[in-house]
Chains A and B, each alone.
Chain A
């Protein structure tokens, strides 16, 4: 496809990490739970330990699902930006390669949504 942006034109990116008051954005998706329509976007301090994802962010986001009570973090499989990932709960997000606008997806085998429909 042709690119008709005039040569030499530079746009100003609106979502540089500097614009988020010391936070960075992460995106989270609980796979096979499409009752929650979309992945979510959350601002987090890059120095926070990974534990905030499991202890604060996800229970608030996903707690209403009947599957949530069966979440067992030791069983959960993670990907970080499409690569398999083993989080360290105590290490900071930044120190385990989670950057501004990283995508974290998690799935626990056996938890496949309402009536096993992915919902």
Chain B
């Protein structure tokens, strides 16, 4: 019998030993994207793999996690556990996740397969391959978990179609399209470092803790199942940055530029999470402001202090994110209430009790700016004629979010920024988004802005019903204000039923 390999030998054989030097083709032809971004790497063997994971061990761990996950999903379905969530409003957070986040997992799968092919170092290739498979696993497990909700609630039926078409989903879609159309070094800085390392706690934590607080054990389970992968991804993100910075001093200004850009793009994307935390969870975990302070200002601040020895500084415009923390979720939710009739989930106004919570968490701003407008909306709802904005919003050319953000020092005035390029005019929600455009205008003049596309006649027609049909949204169900939605009607019936059964027992 052959002698069993020790771990070190096995690791070497199953990773570094997979590499070879090309002899029929020149190196540049095999790895054509290595030069285009200006990043200089002289020695790929310096790449460190913090986890020393080989493919055989990887399959074993992942298979074990799959078995656990699917047994819990089965139990969840058999016990009708969707009836145990706090209330049916909660399910809208999951609709947002399925349409806005799960497709990004699939994009990440494609992106890491792509950059794994482009990087010449075998350590980087193996790490990217594993992450690529992880991301495919994440999107699959999320679809399987959430498919249970599709049997009982509206808005889950055509998420990938919606991701490609629905106006606000162009925000996450364009975020990833931007990364995928960059070079491999920018992609990995954008996704592994800026998003997975710096900001992922602000995406995963709110959804997974939110699920736990609101009785959604299925979602909690896929969160746990992804967690060990996520920690591997975060470590990869940090290693990548250090590897590039240590490889050559010329890399620093390029990388700092990407950190600035992708911090801002990621932060704008997280506007959706801010409203989810403060408005969509019937039982709240913490406020957006508390989360931003803990995960970005404190933890992120400490990270950038560590990175200072490489010459890296905090991302440009981070101070603006702190000024906006008191208003981000309120302004974002207002957008989804204004245009709820074109959204793939139900929107609503907070109850009096919820307004008290918001007021306590946002003592500087909630009562002063947001309570009056939300009370006005709630009164209209109570009269049976909920408000819908009859127009289409102006969008930012870069992040594609409606231009709702207010001036950093004035929460009542919209922040307008503009650039002129080759005789055309472009508009932005912030200095951060303007900087990104001004640095690569040829890229962002191509933004597919949903509102402009509707007016060009590319979205099924000129009227709202035609556009909703093109989105595959079921009018009156998927997009209704919650108190007028079939989900709410069903929920009341089901819970009434459950109460009767309990009484009988």
Residues in B whose Cβ lies below 8 Å from that of A27: 394, 403, 427
**Taking the nearest CB of chain A, how far is it from the CB of B366, in angstroms?**
11
**Taking the nearest CB of chain A, how far is it from the CB of B40, in angstroms?**
13
List residues of B whose CB falls within 8 A of some A CB: 36-38, 182-183, 186, 253-254, 256-258, 260-261, 331, 334-335, 337-339, 368-370, 372-373, 376-377, 387, 389-395, 402-404, 406, 411-414, 416, 418, 422, 424-427, 435, 439-449, 451-453, 455-457
Q: Which of B373, B440, B445, B446 contacts A35 (CB 8 A)?
A: B373
Known contacts A37-B338, A39-B394; decide if A21 and B457 are in contact (CB<8 Å).
yes
**Taking the nearest CB of chain A, how far is it from the CB of B237, in angstroms?**
19
A115, closest chain B residue (CB): B372
A36 touches B372 (CB 8 A): no
Known contacts A1-B257, A3-B440, A11-B446; decide if A119 and B394 are in contact (CB<8 Å).
no
B331, closest chain A residue (CB): A37
Q: Which of B373, B404, B446, B455 contacts A12 (CB 8 A)?
A: B446
In the bound complex, how far is the Cα of B451 from the Cα of A99, in angstroms? Answer: 18
Known contacts A5-B443, A119-B369; decide if A38 and B335 are in contact (CB<8 Å).
yes
Residues in B whose Cβ lies below 8 Å from that of A3: 439-440
B387 touches A103 (CB 8 A): no
A sample of 11 inter-chain contacts (CB < 8 A) reads: A11-B444, A23-B455, A25-B455, A29-B414, A36-B389, A37-B331, A40-B391, A41-B455, A64-B387, A103-B418, A114-B373
Q: Which 8 A-B pairs have the closest CB atoms?
A: A118-B412, A1-B257, A119-B373, A38-B393, A38-B402, A13-B445, A40-B391, A11-B442
Main secondary structure of the interface of A (DSSP, over half): loop
B393 touches A4 (CB 8 A): no
Please name 14 further chain A to chain B contacts, defined as beta carbons within 8 Å, in addition to the given A1-B435, A4-B37, A14-B446, sorted by A numbering. Answer: A1-B261, A2-B439, A4-B440, A11-B441, A11-B442, A29-B394, A35-B334, A40-B391, A41-B392, A81-B425, A103-B427, A115-B372, A117-B369, A119-B370
B452 touches A4 (CB 8 A): no
Residues in A whose Cβ lies below 8 Å from that of B186: 4
Residues in B whose Cβ lies below 8 Å from that of A19: 456
Q: Kindly state whether residue A100 has any CB partner on chain B within 8 Å.
A: yes
List residues of A whose CB falls within 8 A of some B CB: 1-6, 9-16, 19-21, 23, 25, 27, 29, 31-32, 34-43, 60-61, 64, 81-82, 99-103, 105, 113-115, 117-119
**Taking the nearest CB of chain B, how far is it from the CB of A68, in angstroms?**
13
B183, closest chain A residue (CB): A4
B442 touches A4 (CB 8 A): no
B38 touches A2 (CB 8 A): yes
**Taking the nearest CB of chain A, how far is it from the CB of B318, in angstroms?**
15
Q: Which of B406, B452, B453, B457 contacts A34 (CB 8 A)?
A: B406
A81, closest chain B residue (CB): B418
Known contacts A25-B455, A34-B373, A40-B392; decide if A14 and B448 are in contact (CB<8 Å).
yes
In the bound complex, how far is the Cα of B414 from the Cα of A113, in angstroms? Answer: 14
B333, closest chain A residue (CB): A37
In the bound complex, how far is the Cα of B440 from the Cα of A10, in angstroms? Answer: 10
